[in-house]
Amino acid sequence: MILTVTLNAALDLTYRVPRLLPHTSHRVRHSAERPGGKGVNVARVLAALGHETVVTGFAGGATGDTLRRLLAESTGPLTDALVPITGATRRTVAVVDDATGDATQLNEAGPDVTPAEWAAFDDRYGHLLRDAEAVALCGSLPPGVPVGAYAHLIRQARARQVPVLLDTSGEPLRRGIAARPDVVKPNAAELAALTGSTDPLPAALDARRRGAHAVAASLGPEGMLAITPTGTWRATPPTPLRGNPTGAGDSAVAGLLSALTEGLPWPDRLIRAVALSAATVRAPGAGEFDAGAYEELRAGVRVETL
């Protein structure tokens, strides 16, 4: 099975409005709520692809109860192994402007996690690693979780020889990458913040020198750049896309992890990741992808050797 870790899970709320204008009232055309947080989104895509997937992290309060109920309704082989906490799971709000397709995101910080709750998670994580083919460590850290948490979890996975992908930002990324994850997946802004370079290629090279075995950088509508021990590639979608980009990076992580566990070479991993990411832009919400668009887009993804 594939294990995804979401230490700061969320209940995702999406509102669609005809046009988003500051300082005015808006009539919502459509609203939806979904289980969220980066690793949860990754897990839902993996399960939809048919991969046995386990979700762990934290969930608490009424929003946590709702998240778990919605997670149980997800399609595919997905297991809930979230650790209960006293604090309430955060909410995120995406307001989608139907006129432009742009989304405005509002993210709460998350609940306070106690030392005892962190210890309970750490114990569960160690047990889940025994059956894991690969691990994704995704998203922000809630208050109370040590800033070096991802570095600690990476070292545990490496000790068991379980491939681990890290998708986070800021200081947790800086510390985590030094623990030598198999793959890091920053976006362009996170990569620039880590390295100080706004040029993705030298920035990704710098990130790899800092400890990552491979770097797969999301470049938004320009696709993905990968620097690995076996080569360097850039993959781009066949056409520009309009839609909601929320969760597109999480679908890319699902593509990379699923292809890794299937033993596919890096160019094929990138094709799957970019196609899933683009198909998610066409879908109504994070953690979902347009299956028809995915098959169409996968055939048109271009991979260039650098």
Catalytic residues: 250
Q: Which residues pair with 82 in a beta bridge?
A: 57
Q: What kind and span of H or E run contains 274? A: helix 266-281
Q: Determine contact, residues 271/203, Cβ cutoff 8 Å.
A: no
Rounded distance between C-alpha atoms, residue 14 and residue 253, angstroms: 22
For residues 259-286, b (16+ Cβ closer than 10 Å) or e, as one string?
Answer: bbbeeeebbbbbbbbbbbbbbbbbbbbb
Tell me how crowded residue 44 is: count the other CB atoms within 10 A of its CB. Answer: 31
Q: Which amino acid is at 110?
A: G
Q: Exposed (0-12), middle (13-18) or buried (19+): which is 220, by Cβ within 10 Å?
A: middle
